Amino acid sequence: MTWDELERACADCRKCALYETRTKPVFGVGNRAAEVLFVGEGPGESEDLQGEPFVGRAGKLLDDMLSLIGLDRRENIYIANIVKCRPPKNRDPLNTEQDACIDWLRAQYALIRPKIVVCLGRISAMRLIKEDFKISREHGQWFDKDGVRFMALYHPAALLRDPNRRPETFVDLKELERVIRAVCEHTL
């Protein structure tokens, strides 16, 4: 399947009940040839209205975090979510909803073939790195999966709630930058 076919098929998805309450599905944004893939949890209110990931307050912070290390959502990375449709009232996506949706992300992953995957927050890390992932202990650490490097950062919304975690996130971002420079050919 091509990117455009995939995006069209995703827009018609009815694999779980979230399509009934969403405004727009949020497929993803960025460079489809990126070496670095960021994965959040699921759309919030602003994302649901605009059809793009991370465009609310947390998204503005994410853009600032990215720019600290020379990354830009439209230039040199791709951003997607575990679930493509907004869970009502911003609740965590249910496991059944994640299970129903994950094949869209798998297909995006297969097309991108990233060298590095950055999980934004606990939900994404528990789904993509390991079920018992502990974000407060394991953020910023590298996990190898079939030669692809995975790392989790605190979710930008968590950093808005608790600014005390920002210094650790700065260290994690610098570590991410170091590894991007070491393993990616055309990102930075």
Q: Mark 100-129 with x for binding to ligand URA (rule: CB under 6 A) and - for no binding.
A: --------------------x---------
Residues sharing a CB contact under 8 Å with residue 67, sequence separation 6 or more, in sequence order: none
Q: How far apart are CA 91 and CA 13, in angstroms?
A: 20
Q: Which CB atom, from 136 or from 181, has the smaller least distance to ligand URA?
A: 136
Q: How far apart are CA 6 and CA 27, in angstroms?
A: 9
Q: How far apart are CA 75 and CA 161, in angstroms?
A: 28
Find the shortest distance in angstroms from Cβ 44 to ligand URA: 4
The verdict on 54 binding ligand URA (CB under 6 A) reads yes
**Member of 40, 87, 93, 140 binding ligand URA (CB under 6 A):** 40
Strands (E), 7-94: 29-30, 36-40, 78-81
Q: How far apart are CA 54 and CA 47, in angstroms?
A: 6
Q: Mark 69-88 with x for binding to ligand URA (rule: CB under 6 A) and - for no binding.
A: ------------x-------
Q: Which CB atom, from 93 or from 140, has the smaller least distance to ligand URA?
A: 93
For CA atoms 24, 25, 31, 32, the dihedral sign is negative
Q: Which CB atom, from 25 or from 43, has the smaller least distance to ligand URA?
A: 43
Contacts with ligand URA, residue ranges (CB under 6 A) = 26, 40-44, 47, 53-54, 58, 81, 120
